[in-house]
């Protein structure tokens, strides 16, 4: 069975074509600058060099059409006909309270994705465009929607409600949803396997990338997570501020004469590591700057590590203990320095790490130290594979 996985952003599109018989990636790629001057497709067939195609792409229809052309191209293609693709799995950012798991796209599903545009204004319209483009270009091939929010839907009300007037929950569905659900699902499942599939498990998953979130997972189900109504909540990220005193919002709006959209942009695009350092949203740049004596970079990284440790402490209490802490995504998988610094805060919980194993990367790694009360794992996330597996499972039903 061959499954195409598509992740549409507002002006970008990532894809991977899987052979599900052996989970092999046959080709993957990225379309950038859709609808903007300089559109291009970077296509990498397995085992071959990346090829770049530059041509105007006015919308997601044209982008997906070009991807399909390249998938069957005699030179850089990996299949001989599009009919070989059995299904398409789409990442959809926001499923609100309506989706607790992945589902086959129907007119009703599309209507609900549309209903969630307000909650995911940058992603949901693009996700729907991707779905509709595939419907048009591959009629009869099922599309499956995999929601970033779905895995977090098991949270109890005490974790997902905000202490605002109740009517806003009733009228506008204002509550915590959580994101990166596909990643938290993938790594928590793997962590439970690494623990030996116990009947009961308490796992804290730290997805630390450009966007970051942490989830508390009890017996395979999320009971709390750091992101909220939107992915802005939680702790310091590349460009997002994470949790702040909500009164800062009206205070700054008044002081700087800002519109709601302007303050939203400041908190989402100009804050976090970028805002604190005034340099870059990339954690590698901040580390280099810190090593060269930049005090603000040091502050920003100290804050990042401290805030993560605080959430892990909170989730230790929420779970009533912890069997394993998992680190994943760009920073979590690659940066032993941050992992070690975070785990140092956790020594009071009995966490000890193996400094040598903490230097490893590129595989599932147990870097628990001798005598540690909690296991510490590095697990490279694979959201695309999870989407492909969900798609296959739904097609086989």
CB of 330 to ligand AMP, least distance (A): 2
Whichever of 102 and 334 has its CB closer to ligand AMP, that residue is 334
* 111 and 125 Cβ atoms separated by less than 8 Å: no
The stretch near ligand AMP (CB under 6 A) out of 46-54, 173-181, 310-318, 325-333 is: 325-333
Torsion sign (Cα): 51, 52, 56, 59: positive
CB of 372 to ligand AMP, least distance (A): 24
CB of 278 to ligand AMP, least distance (A): 16
> Applying CB under 6 A, does 359 fall inside the site for ligand AMP?
no
Window 116-145: residues binding ligand AMP (CB under 6 A): none
Quick one: which H or E segment has residue 28? strand 24-32
CB of 43 to ligand AMP, least distance (A): 20
CB of 188 to ligand AMP, least distance (A): 17
CB of 273 to ligand AMP, least distance (A): 8
Q: For the sheet with 143-147, list strands across it.
A: 51-54, 40-45, 24-32, 13-19, 2-8, 85-92, 143-147, 103-104
Question: Backbone phi, then psi, for 85, in 5-degree steps?
Answer: -80, 120
> Applying CB under 6 A, does 238 fall inside the site for ligand AMP?
yes
**Residue 120 backbone zone (phi > 0: left; psi -120 to 50: alpha; other: beta):** beta
3-state class (DSSP) for residue 30: strand
* 352-353-354-359 Cα dihedral, nearest 10 degrees: -170
Could you say which of 334, 358, 368, 372 contacts ligand AMP (CB under 6 A)? 334
Q: How many residues bind ligand AMP (CB under 6 A)?
A: 11
Judging by DSSP bridges, how do beta strands 40-45 and 24-32 pair with one another? Answer: antiparallel
Whichever of 206 and 329 has its CB closer to ligand AMP, that residue is 329
Whichever of 64 and 290 has its CB closer to ligand AMP, that residue is 290
Tell which residue, 222, 204, 223, has the closest CA to residue 214.
Answer: 204
Whichever of 29 and 77 has its CB closer to ligand AMP, that residue is 29
* 182 and 148 Cβ atoms separated by less than 8 Å: yes
> Applying CB under 6 A, does 284 fall inside the site for ligand AMP?
yes
Whichever of 283 and 316 has its CB closer to ligand AMP, that residue is 283
> Applying CB under 6 A, does 29 fall inside the site for ligand AMP?
no
> Applying CB under 6 A, does 19 fall inside the site for ligand AMP?
no
CB of 284 to ligand AMP, least distance (A): 4
Window 185-214: residues binding ligand AMP (CB under 6 A): 209-210
Give the residue at shortest CB distance from ligand AMP: 330
DSSP 113-177: HHHTTTTSTTTHHHHHHHHHHHHHHSTT--EEEEESSGGGGG--HHHH--SS-HHHHHHH--S--
> Applying CB under 6 A, does 329 fall inside the site for ligand AMP?
yes
Judging by DSSP bridges, how do beta strands 202-208 and 324-328 pair with one another? Answer: parallel
3-state class (DSSP) for residue 92: strand
> Applying CB under 6 A, does 330 fall inside the site for ligand AMP?
yes
Residues identified as active-site: 148
> Applying CB under 6 A, does 227 fall inside the site for ligand AMP?
no
* 66 and 41 Cβ atoms separated by less than 8 Å: yes
How buried is 53 (Cβ within 10 angstroms: 0-12 exposed, 13-18 middle, 19+ buried)?
middle
Whichever of 122 and 141 has its CB closer to ligand AMP, that residue is 122
Whichever of 78 and 286 has its CB closer to ligand AMP, that residue is 286
Distances 53 to 18, 50, 70, 133, 284 between C-alpha atoms, Å: 22, 10, 10, 20, 29
The stretch near ligand AMP (CB under 6 A) out of 41-49, 70-78, 85-93, 324-332 is: 324-332
Tell which residue, 309, 299, 305, has the closest CA to residue 279.
Answer: 299
Angle, CA of 310, 208 and 366, to the nearest 5° = 90
Whichever of 240 and 375 has its CB closer to ligand AMP, that residue is 240
Window 263-282: residues binding ligand AMP (CB under 6 A): 282
> Applying CB under 6 A, does 239 fall inside the site for ligand AMP?
no
CB of 244 to ligand AMP, least distance (A): 20
Q: Which residue has the tokens 């116990």?
A: 198
Could you say which of 98, 147, 283, 377 contacts ligand AMP (CB under 6 A)? 283
Under the rule (CB under 6 A), what is the footprint of ligand AMP?
A: 209-210, 238, 282-284, 329-331, 334-335
């Amino acid at each position: 069975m061959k499954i195409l996985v598509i992740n549409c952003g507002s002006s970008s599109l990532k894809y991977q074509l899987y052979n599900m018989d052996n989970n092999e990636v046959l080709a993957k790629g990225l379309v950038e600058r859709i609808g903007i001057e300089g559109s291009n497709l970077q296509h990498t067939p397995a085992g071959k060099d990346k090829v770049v195609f530059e041509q105007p792409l006015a919308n997601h229809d044209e982008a997906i059409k070009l991807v399909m052309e390249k998938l069957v191209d005699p030179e850089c293609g990996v299949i001989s006909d599009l009919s070989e693709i059995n299904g398409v799995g789409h990442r959809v950012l926001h499923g609100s309270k309506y989706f607790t798991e992945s589902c086959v796209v129907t007119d009703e599903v599309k209507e609900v994705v549309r209903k969630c545009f307000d909650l995911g204004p940058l992603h949901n319209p693009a996700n729907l465009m991707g779905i509709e483009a595939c419907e048009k270009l591959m009629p009869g091939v099922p599309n499956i929607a995999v929601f970033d929010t779905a895995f977090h839907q098991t949270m109890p009300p005490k974790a997902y409600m905000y202490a605002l007037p109740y009517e806003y929950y009733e009228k506008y569905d204002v509550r915590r949803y959580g994101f990166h659900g596909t990643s938290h699902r993938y790594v928590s499942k793997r962590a439970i396997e690494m623990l030996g599939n116990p009947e009961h498990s308490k796992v804290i998953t730290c997805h630390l990338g450009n966007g970051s979130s942490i989830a508390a997972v009890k017996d395979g189900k999320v009971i709390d997570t750091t992101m909220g109504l939107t992915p802005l909540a939680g702790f310091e990220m590349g460009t997002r501020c994470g949790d702040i005193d909500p009164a800062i919002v009206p205070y700054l709006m008044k002081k700087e004469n800002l519109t709601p959209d302007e303050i939203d942009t400041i908190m989402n695009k100009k804050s976090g590591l970028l805002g604190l350092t005034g340099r870059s949203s990339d954690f590698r740049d901040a580390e280099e700057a810190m090593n060269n004596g930049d005090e603000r970079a040091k502050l920003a990284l100290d804050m990042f590590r401290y805030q993560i440790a605080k959430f892990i402490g909170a989730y230790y209490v929420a779970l009533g203990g912890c069997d394993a802490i998992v680190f994943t995504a760009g920073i979590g998988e690659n940066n032993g320095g941050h992992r070690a610094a975070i785990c140092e805060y956790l020594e009071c919980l009995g966490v000890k790490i193996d400094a040598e194993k903490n230097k490893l990367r590129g595989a599932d790694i147990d870097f628990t130290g001798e005598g540690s009360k909690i296991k510490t794992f590095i697990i490279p996330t694979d959201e695309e594979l999870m989407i492909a597996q969900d798609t296959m499972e739904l097609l086989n039903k």
